Amino acid sequence: MTFRKYLVLAGVSVFAAAGDSMLAQGMKQVGSIAPHQLSQIILTVLNPSIAVGILLLLCFFACYTNALSWADLTYVMPATSVSYILLTLIARFFLHETVSVTRWMGVLLISGGVGFVTQGPALTHPGAAKPDELPLAEGVPR
Amino acid sequence: MRTLYEWLAIAAVVLATTAGDVLVSRAMKQIGDLGDLRRRSGILTVIATVLRHPGFLMGVAAMAVAFYSLLFGLSWGDVSLIVPAATSLTFVTNAVAAKIFLHERVDQRRWLAAALVGAGVVLLAL
Protein backbone atom coordinates (compact mmCIF):
# COMPACT_ATOMS: atom_id res chain seq x y z
CA MET A 1 0.00 0.00 0.00
CA THR A 2 1.40 3.35 -1.11
CA PHE A 3 0.39 6.87 -0.09
CA ARG A 4 -1.40 7.27 -3.45
CA LYS A 5 -3.53 4.20 -2.72
CA TYR A 6 -4.54 5.48 0.73
CA LEU A 7 -5.41 8.78 -0.96
CA VAL A 8 -7.68 6.94 -3.43
CA LEU A 9 -9.43 5.09 -0.55
CA ALA A 10 -9.89 8.43 1.25
CA GLY A 11 -11.37 9.90 -1.96
CA VAL A 12 -13.90 7.04 -2.14
CA SER A 13 -15.01 7.75 1.45
CA VAL A 14 -15.21 11.56 1.21
CA PHE A 15 -17.00 11.72 -2.16
CA ALA A 16 -19.50 8.99 -1.13
CA ALA A 17 -20.45 10.81 2.09
CA ALA A 18 -20.77 14.21 0.37
CA GLY A 19 -22.66 12.81 -2.65
CA ASP A 20 -25.16 10.80 -0.58
CA SER A 21 -26.02 13.75 1.67
CA MET A 22 -26.62 16.02 -1.36
CA LEU A 23 -28.90 13.34 -2.92
CA ALA A 24 -30.88 12.94 0.30
CA GLN A 25 -31.30 16.71 0.56
CA GLY A 26 -32.43 16.92 -3.08
CA MET A 27 -34.99 14.12 -2.81
CA LYS A 28 -36.50 15.79 0.25
CA GLN A 29 -36.98 18.94 -1.86
CA VAL A 30 -38.51 16.95 -4.75
CA GLY A 31 -40.93 15.06 -2.49
CA SER A 32 -42.69 11.73 -2.93
CA ILE A 33 -42.83 10.16 -6.41
CA ALA A 34 -45.26 7.32 -7.31
CA PRO A 35 -43.92 4.20 -9.09
CA HIS A 36 -45.72 4.98 -12.38
CA GLN A 37 -44.23 8.51 -12.64
CA LEU A 38 -41.07 7.32 -14.35
CA SER A 39 -40.54 10.51 -16.36
CA GLN A 40 -40.72 12.56 -13.19
CA ILE A 41 -37.99 10.58 -11.43
CA ILE A 42 -35.71 10.98 -14.46
CA LEU A 43 -36.29 14.75 -14.33
CA THR A 44 -35.11 14.85 -10.69
CA VAL A 45 -31.55 15.30 -12.07
CA LEU A 46 -32.55 18.92 -12.82
CA ASN A 47 -32.72 19.65 -9.08
CA PRO A 48 -29.45 21.49 -8.18
CA SER A 49 -28.76 19.44 -5.03
CA ILE A 50 -29.24 16.20 -6.96
CA ALA A 51 -27.08 17.47 -9.83
CA VAL A 52 -24.23 18.33 -7.42
CA GLY A 53 -24.79 14.99 -5.65
CA ILE A 54 -24.44 13.14 -8.97
CA LEU A 55 -21.22 15.06 -9.78
CA LEU A 56 -19.76 14.11 -6.37
CA LEU A 57 -20.84 10.49 -6.89
CA LEU A 58 -19.08 10.50 -10.29
CA CYS A 59 -15.87 11.51 -8.47
CA PHE A 60 -16.62 8.73 -6.00
CA PHE A 61 -16.99 6.28 -8.88
CA ALA A 62 -13.68 7.29 -10.47
CA CYS A 63 -11.87 6.66 -7.15
CA TYR A 64 -13.86 3.45 -6.58
CA THR A 65 -12.98 1.89 -9.96
CA ASN A 66 -9.36 2.94 -9.41
CA ALA A 67 -9.33 1.18 -6.01
CA LEU A 68 -10.94 -1.95 -7.47
CA SER A 69 -8.18 -2.13 -10.08
CA TRP A 70 -5.63 -2.98 -7.36
CA ALA A 71 -7.66 -4.25 -4.39
CA ASP A 72 -10.32 -6.88 -3.64
CA LEU A 73 -13.97 -5.89 -3.42
CA THR A 74 -14.09 -7.34 0.11
CA TYR A 75 -11.17 -5.03 1.02
CA VAL A 76 -12.40 -1.84 -0.63
CA MET A 77 -15.92 -2.01 0.82
CA PRO A 78 -15.07 -2.13 4.54
CA ALA A 79 -11.97 0.07 4.11
CA THR A 80 -14.07 2.87 2.62
CA SER A 81 -16.87 2.63 5.19
CA VAL A 82 -14.99 5.49 6.90
CA SER A 83 -17.59 7.53 4.98
CA TYR A 84 -20.27 6.62 7.58
CA ILE A 85 -18.01 7.85 10.35
CA LEU A 86 -17.44 11.07 8.36
CA LEU A 87 -21.19 11.54 7.90
CA THR A 88 -21.81 11.16 11.64
CA LEU A 89 -19.03 13.64 12.48
CA ILE A 90 -20.39 16.14 9.91
CA ALA A 91 -23.88 15.74 11.40
CA ARG A 92 -22.59 16.27 14.95
CA PHE A 93 -20.08 19.10 14.52
CA PHE A 94 -21.24 20.99 11.42
CA LEU A 95 -25.01 20.42 11.27
CA HIS A 96 -25.26 20.38 15.10
CA GLU A 97 -27.50 17.31 15.09
CA THR A 98 -27.81 15.29 18.27
CA VAL A 99 -25.94 12.00 17.82
CA SER A 100 -27.23 9.30 20.21
CA VAL A 101 -25.09 6.81 22.16
CA THR A 102 -26.37 4.03 19.83
CA ARG A 103 -25.02 5.93 16.82
CA TRP A 104 -21.62 6.46 18.43
CA MET A 105 -21.58 2.69 19.09
CA GLY A 106 -22.34 2.17 15.40
CA VAL A 107 -19.37 4.43 14.56
CA LEU A 108 -17.16 2.36 16.91
CA LEU A 109 -18.22 -0.94 15.26
CA ILE A 110 -17.55 0.46 11.78
CA SER A 111 -14.14 1.77 12.89
CA GLY A 112 -13.39 -1.73 14.22
CA GLY A 113 -14.34 -3.27 10.87
CA VAL A 114 -12.18 -0.76 8.98
CA GLY A 115 -9.23 -1.40 11.31
CA PHE A 116 -9.57 -5.17 10.90
CA VAL A 117 -9.67 -5.27 7.13
CA THR A 118 -6.97 -2.67 6.45
CA GLN A 119 -4.44 -4.70 8.46
CA GLY A 120 -4.82 -7.56 5.98
CA PRO A 121 -3.73 -7.86 2.35
CA ALA A 122 -5.52 -5.69 -0.23
CA LEU A 123 -5.48 -8.33 -2.99
CA THR A 124 -5.95 -12.06 -2.40
CA HIS A 125 -6.99 -13.64 -5.68
CA PRO A 126 -4.33 -14.23 -8.33
CA GLY A 127 -6.70 -14.05 -11.33
CA ALA A 128 -5.98 -10.60 -12.63
CA ALA A 129 -2.69 -9.50 -11.14
CA LYS A 130 0.16 -8.66 -13.47
CA PRO A 131 1.68 -11.95 -14.70
CA ASP A 132 5.08 -11.28 -13.11
CA GLU A 133 3.47 -10.80 -9.71
CA LEU A 134 1.30 -13.91 -9.76
CA PRO A 135 3.24 -15.98 -7.24
CA LEU A 136 3.23 -13.03 -4.83
CA ALA A 137 -0.40 -12.08 -5.20
CA GLU A 138 -1.73 -14.54 -2.65
CA GLY A 139 -1.80 -13.09 0.85
CA VAL A 140 0.96 -10.55 0.36
CA PRO A 141 0.23 -6.88 1.17
CA ARG A 142 0.86 -4.56 -1.75
CA MET B 1 -48.15 -0.99 1.58
CA ARG B 2 -45.61 1.74 2.18
CA THR B 3 -43.42 -0.64 4.19
CA LEU B 4 -43.64 -3.26 1.43
CA TYR B 5 -42.56 -0.68 -1.14
CA GLU B 6 -39.68 0.37 1.09
CA TRP B 7 -38.39 -3.19 1.47
CA LEU B 8 -38.89 -3.92 -2.25
CA ALA B 9 -36.78 -0.85 -3.01
CA ILE B 10 -34.16 -2.03 -0.49
CA ALA B 11 -34.09 -5.52 -2.08
CA ALA B 12 -33.75 -4.03 -5.56
CA VAL B 13 -30.92 -1.73 -4.41
CA VAL B 14 -29.07 -4.61 -2.69
CA LEU B 15 -29.34 -7.01 -5.66
CA ALA B 16 -28.45 -4.42 -8.30
CA THR B 17 -25.56 -2.98 -6.24
CA THR B 18 -24.08 -6.42 -5.65
CA ALA B 19 -24.33 -7.31 -9.35
CA GLY B 20 -22.77 -3.96 -10.30
CA ASP B 21 -19.95 -4.23 -7.75
CA VAL B 22 -19.05 -7.76 -8.83
CA LEU B 23 -19.11 -6.90 -12.55
CA VAL B 24 -17.06 -3.70 -12.12
CA SER B 25 -14.62 -5.38 -9.75
CA ARG B 26 -14.03 -8.22 -12.23
CA ALA B 27 -13.61 -5.77 -15.12
CA MET B 28 -11.10 -3.65 -13.18
CA LYS B 29 -9.08 -6.73 -12.20
CA GLN B 30 -8.95 -7.73 -15.89
CA ILE B 31 -7.74 -4.23 -16.86
CA GLY B 32 -5.17 -4.12 -14.03
CA ASP B 33 -3.78 -1.34 -11.80
CA LEU B 34 -4.98 1.95 -13.30
CA GLY B 35 -2.01 3.81 -11.80
CA ASP B 36 0.44 1.56 -13.66
CA LEU B 37 -1.58 1.79 -16.86
CA ARG B 38 -1.63 5.61 -16.62
CA ARG B 39 2.16 5.77 -16.15
CA ARG B 40 2.66 3.48 -19.16
CA SER B 41 0.14 4.90 -21.65
CA GLY B 42 -1.45 8.08 -20.29
CA ILE B 43 -4.78 9.03 -18.76
CA LEU B 44 -6.72 9.00 -22.07
CA THR B 45 -5.82 5.36 -22.65
CA VAL B 46 -6.99 4.56 -19.12
CA ILE B 47 -10.36 6.22 -19.72
CA ALA B 48 -10.79 4.60 -23.16
CA THR B 49 -9.81 1.14 -21.88
CA VAL B 50 -12.22 1.31 -18.94
CA LEU B 51 -15.14 2.76 -20.92
CA ARG B 52 -14.79 0.13 -23.68
CA HIS B 53 -14.77 -2.87 -21.32
CA PRO B 54 -18.11 -4.77 -21.72
CA GLY B 55 -18.07 -6.03 -18.11
CA PHE B 56 -17.56 -2.49 -16.83
CA LEU B 57 -20.48 -1.20 -18.93
CA MET B 58 -22.76 -4.00 -17.66
CA GLY B 59 -21.70 -3.18 -14.12
CA VAL B 60 -22.49 0.50 -14.66
CA ALA B 61 -25.93 -0.47 -16.04
CA ALA B 62 -26.60 -2.54 -12.89
CA MET B 63 -25.46 0.40 -10.75
CA ALA B 64 -27.82 2.72 -12.66
CA VAL B 65 -30.68 0.34 -11.79
CA ALA B 66 -29.53 0.46 -8.15
CA PHE B 67 -29.35 4.28 -8.27
CA TYR B 68 -32.90 4.72 -9.55
CA SER B 69 -34.23 2.08 -7.13
CA LEU B 70 -32.58 4.13 -4.38
CA LEU B 71 -34.19 7.35 -5.64
CA PHE B 72 -37.61 5.62 -5.67
CA GLY B 73 -36.98 4.28 -2.19
CA LEU B 74 -35.89 7.69 -0.89
CA SER B 75 -39.05 9.30 -2.26
CA TRP B 76 -41.24 6.72 -0.44
CA GLY B 77 -39.45 6.20 2.83
CA ASP B 78 -36.96 7.56 5.30
CA VAL B 79 -33.35 7.94 4.27
CA SER B 80 -32.47 6.76 7.79
CA LEU B 81 -34.00 3.32 7.09
CA ILE B 82 -33.34 2.77 3.39
CA VAL B 83 -29.71 3.85 3.06
CA PRO B 84 -28.37 1.98 6.14
CA ALA B 85 -30.52 -1.13 5.52
CA ALA B 86 -29.50 -1.36 1.86
CA THR B 87 -25.83 -0.61 2.57
CA SER B 88 -25.42 -2.98 5.51
CA LEU B 89 -27.10 -5.83 3.60
CA THR B 90 -24.87 -5.06 0.62
CA PHE B 91 -21.76 -5.61 2.77
CA VAL B 92 -22.91 -9.17 3.45
CA THR B 93 -24.19 -10.00 -0.06
CA ASN B 94 -21.00 -8.54 -1.58
CA ALA B 95 -18.81 -10.72 0.65
CA VAL B 96 -20.77 -13.82 -0.44
CA ALA B 97 -20.75 -12.78 -4.12
CA ALA B 98 -17.01 -11.89 -4.05
CA LYS B 99 -16.25 -15.35 -2.66
CA ILE B 100 -18.42 -17.17 -5.24
CA PHE B 101 -17.93 -15.10 -8.39
CA LEU B 102 -14.59 -13.30 -7.89
CA HIS B 103 -12.86 -16.13 -5.98
CA GLU B 104 -11.57 -13.68 -3.38
CA ARG B 105 -10.24 -15.31 -0.23
CA VAL B 106 -12.80 -13.99 2.21
CA ASP B 107 -11.04 -15.05 5.41
CA GLN B 108 -12.30 -14.65 9.00
CA ARG B 109 -10.85 -11.16 9.17
CA ARG B 110 -12.93 -10.02 6.18
CA TRP B 111 -16.15 -11.74 7.31
CA LEU B 112 -15.69 -10.09 10.68
CA ALA B 113 -15.04 -6.71 9.05
CA ALA B 114 -18.14 -7.03 6.82
CA ALA B 115 -20.26 -8.10 9.82
CA LEU B 116 -18.91 -5.30 12.07
CA VAL B 117 -19.51 -2.64 9.43
CA GLY B 118 -22.96 -4.06 8.61
CA ALA B 119 -23.95 -4.09 12.31
CA GLY B 120 -22.48 -0.60 12.80
CA VAL B 121 -24.55 0.77 9.91
CA VAL B 122 -27.69 -0.76 11.49
CA LEU B 123 -26.87 0.98 14.81
CA LEU B 124 -26.47 4.29 12.97
CA ALA B 125 -30.05 3.86 11.71
CA LEU B 126 -31.62 3.25 15.14
Question: pLDDT tier at A137 (50, 70, 90 boundaries)?
Answer: very low
**Which residues form the domain of A46?**
3-137
Q: For residue range B37-89, list pLDDT tens digits in order.
A: 888 988 899 999 999 999 999 999 999 999 889 888 877 777 667 877 888 88
Report CB contact under 8 Å: A81, B117: yes
Does a structural domain hold residue A122? yes
Taking the domains of chain B in order of start, what are their residue ranges? Answer: 2-125
Give the span between the Cα atoms of B33 and B107, in whole angstroms.
23
Note if the pTM is more than 0.80.
no
B-chain residues within 8 Å CB-CB of A106?
119-126
Q: What is the mean pLDDT of residues B118-122?
A: 85
Q: Which pLDDT belongs to residue A9?
A: 92
Residue of A nearest to B24 (CA): A65
Number of domains in chain A: 1
Q: pLDDT digits over B2-17, tens only?
A: 678 888 989 999 999 9
Average pLDDT, chain B: 88
> Distance between CA atoms of B126 and B124, rounded to whole angstroms?
6
Cα separation, A128 vs A70, whole angstroms:
9
* B-chain residues near A78 (CB < 8 A): 91, 110, 113-114, 116-117
In a domain, A142, yes or no: no
ipTM at complex level: 0.81
Report if residue A29 sits inside a domain: yes
Which residue in chain A has the smallest CA separation from B94? A74
Which residues from B are below 8 Å from A130, CB to CB?
Answer: 32-33, 36
The DSSP-derived string for A98-130 is: ---HHHHHHHHHHHHHHHHHHHS-S----TTS-
